[in-house]
A and B are shown apart, each in its own frame.
Chain A
């Protein structure tokens, strides 16, 4: 079985008596090690899909198997446990705790972990921060970090519990080109090391760094295609930097 199996997912909302069909029948399976871009216009249901994949919301109908677990009958505590152990969130707005150091932000999922940790939480958080290249910013507050650095703290937080997959919702939406490329480089590196990543985006350029693009429209999956000429974010970053320094010099 695939790592993620969505079978006949429907999500309906009742808004002032009107039924809104956010997702109307969706089947999807995602294997371990994939890097998927979820695309589609606003209102296509991709946010609802993210919420369901992230165990933040329950489908009205259908089954969701995550890592072999049937989440359909999970209560809110079970959902919290799944989010803690299986899912690493990366948001557009970073969503770091303010007035809290980078290390403490990264410690947070371990803090709520119900596993008996033999490891030192702080050491673990520091080692993950070093992996994302923030070894020199361990005790900075989010307000003292650039957007790219904040997003890297968020990625470190998403990775610290070694989740089944990383769920990124427009992770570069608040970032400039250079920082976006840095984040994509980081994602590609993680994916090359075997980490499953699901990323919502509406920029085709960013989707080109993934391995598979699924597109949604009106609550339905309209296309599911593998990326044929996958771009390398590290190369693009180098190129972009080179062009930019030339521009600055001239």
Chain B
């Protein structure tokens, strides 16, 4: 019997029992479908997290004081200037002083994060202007009351109008709007990165906060692969300026965006694997379902097996026939499962705003896995069928 004829006859048998075949495949459909959907959701969220973190600037290093650190360990503008002068791996440095303020201007008022930063901050965050200009060193030196609005703030206060040249009140001071930032979107922590107003650092320190203490210092490394060297260098410089010995625990933390990305990606990959493993269990259960039905089918078709043997089918012909049928059943289930998963993913992305990403490799692997399930769980019933004695099978009622 040629392989083509065998295939044709298997398909005939499957389509002869459409309903039972569909029910048999259902386990595989759900199994394969859920594996793909779970992995797609996991991958989708990982890619989203990675791109959000990347939008903060991949070469970013952040220095923050430790909680409860004493006066001596506070970061000041002197630290950021020293880093700018001495650190060789650092491309750009900006001290940050930030606080939430109620901002009044244009159509009303709006509460937003006001960040005092230095001109380099745009480079560090890989951020561009939508309109107007960012402030310069002169604005810092003069402690000018100029502001650059984030896209959310601009639209909340001014709607469709161009806010440049208008005045906004932050606290008790009036600031002139000189520019609007390009929209950046949702940040890694789920925050709106555009709900921000940027003012010159010195203006924020003296006029808004009356302090010299920075919340943090953001730095940009010249190349991504120099991240760890840069981090070490920053630590040495800061230990020196804060008189912290090499063995003492420093009073500040140096965080590196690449590490944060790696940690976030690792967490989400673990989550993806966990979800895939759970879905894999349902694929396994689907396989057992196939075995179950195939065993019933062997019993039900005992007489058919007897007839086939009587007219000349060898044991291996019967074995292949049943094996092929279970493989086809699970492959059909796999294919329907894949289509089903693509539909579900499209639905999730379109209507539930859940990011999904279907990796073609996952599709290939789950289709192969479905076939393997078919072979594995189809073998035992097939062998049982092939092991029947023709006389007994023919007599079977």
Contacts and interface: CB of A to CB of B under 8 A. Distances in A.
A197 B133 CA distance: 105
Closest 8 A/B residue pairs (Cβ): A84-B312, A112-B312, A109-B311, A80-B314, A77-B314, A112-B313, A56-B390, A95-B307
Contact of B311 (A76, A83, A104): A83
Interface string A87-118: 00101000111111000100011011100000
Residue with the highest number of chain A CB atoms closer than 10 Å, among B304, B309, B312, B317: B312
Interface residues of B, number: 22
A80 B394 contact: no
Contacts of A81: 312, 314
Interface string B247-279: 000000000000000000000000000000000
A182 interface: no
Given A80-B309, A108-B308, A99 B314 contact: no
Nearest to B5: A111
Contact of B315 (A56, A77, A98, A157): A77
Contacts of A5: none
Interface of B: 1, 5, 9, 12, 16, 303-304, 306-317, 390-391, 394
5 contacts: A56-B391, A77-B314, A80-B313, A100-B16, A112-B312
A51 interface: yes
A2 B242 CA distance: 114
A131 interface: no
B315 A113 contact: no
Interface residues of A, number: 27
A238 B312 CA distance: 37
Given A99-B16, A111-B5, A111-B9, A157 B390 contact: no
Contacts of B304: 97-98
Nearest to A113: B312
Contacts of B312: 80-81, 83-85, 109, 112-113, 161
A45 interface: no
A88 B287 CA distance: 39
Given A91-B394, A95-B307, 6 more contacts: A54-B310, A83-B310, A83-B312, A89-B310, A108-B311, A161-B312
Contacts of B308: 108, 112
A85 to B, nearest CB: 7
Interface string A72-86: 000011001101110
B1 A112 contact: yes
Contact of B1 (A54, A83, A111): A111
